[in-house]
Amino acid sequence: MDKLETIPSEKWPLLRELYERDWPQNVLPYYLLDNIIRWNGIDSKFVSENIEVKCLNGDFTDGTFYFLQDNDLFFYSLENGDKKKLARLLELVIGTRDFFWTNYTYKRDLQTLDKVVELKSWTKTFVESTKFYFMPREKALSLDTSLSIPENFSVKPLSNKDLEFAHSLYPYRDEVTLQFFQMLHKFNKNLGLYKSDNLLSWCLLHQPNSFTALQTHDTFQRKGFGTIVLRNLAKSLATEGKDSFAIIVDGNEKSSQLFTKEGFDCIDEVYNIKIEPKIDKIKKK
């Protein structure tokens, strides 16, 4: 009988190495695993209590695994063809929560997800299509970060207080996003542009290390401040040997133009999807 088995943390580097192939096709699972390995070194108690990394029957030789934190589900596989193993993995995990947000789902895995959702009598209640923008570290190293910054301006990581300020202006904030921001702030790199001690523009990095919440205070928009933050963050990552990338919601032309102008290439389509049981299934219970 098939079962879900935890992948021990000491084997996460082996799983990560599988995703080095066909670069940059597998950027998302590679950096998701790279981050969780690093997070585990910072606070193993948090990781063990809040995050699941599992595979089917203890076998991840084809890269098939999922990462689950609360209701955030990331799943990836190097399977070819009909991806039966990935489908079976999803069959077993769907139903262990009341709902899931399947985050950063590659277009190539949508058909598998759709089949399992239908098989489990679940449904997609929200679908957000995005474009995946990527800049290799070699290119980011050549970015010009010497843009003219007025006196008393500086680029530096956000303080805890300023993180709360950034969250207060985040247009998609809800009752859980502050806690999420605090987690990203604790584990991942972030940068803000300051005038004296006042935060003007900022950016965080998501679980898989993608740029997120890139925002400039309304009063200071259209001054190139977001570009300063983007360039400095990308170059900082590159000095650590890391690539830069972001997902941009379809229709967000402002962000698409910014990342394109700075030299990012659109290389894939990625989806964020909410799935939950069909209403008639809930009623039968």
The model's pLDDT over 116-172, given as tens digits with 9 standing for 90+, comes to: 999 999 999 999 999 999 999 999 999 988 766 777 899 999 999 999 999 999 999
Share of the chain above pLDDT 90, in %: 89
Query: Are 147 and 228 spatial neighbours (Cβ–Cβ below 8 Å)?
Result: yes
Query: Are 267 and 136 spatial neighbours (Cβ–Cβ below 8 Å)?
Result: no
Tell me the average pLDDT of the chain.
Answer: 95
Instruction: Kindly tell me if the per-residue pLDDT of 252 is higher than 80.
Output: yes
If pLDDT is split at 50, 70 and 90, which confidence band does 280 have? Answer: low
- Tens of pLDDT, residue by residue over 216-230, are 998 988 889 999 999
Instruction: Kindly tell me if the per-residue pLDDT of 284 is higher than 70.
Output: no
Q: What average pLDDT does range 83-87 have in this prediction?
A: 97
Q: What is the number of alpha carbons within 13 Å of residue 197 lying toward its C-beta? A: 2
Per-residue CA distances from 50 to 36, 53, 68, 105, 165 (Å): 11, 10, 8, 21, 26
* 61 CB-near residues (< 8 Å, 6+ apart): 18
pTM for the model stands at: 0.95
* Identity of residue 284: K
Instruction: Kindly tell me if the per-residue pLDDT of 283 is higher than 70.
Output: no
Domains of the chain: 4-130+271-277 (3.40.630.30), 137-242 (3.40.630.30)
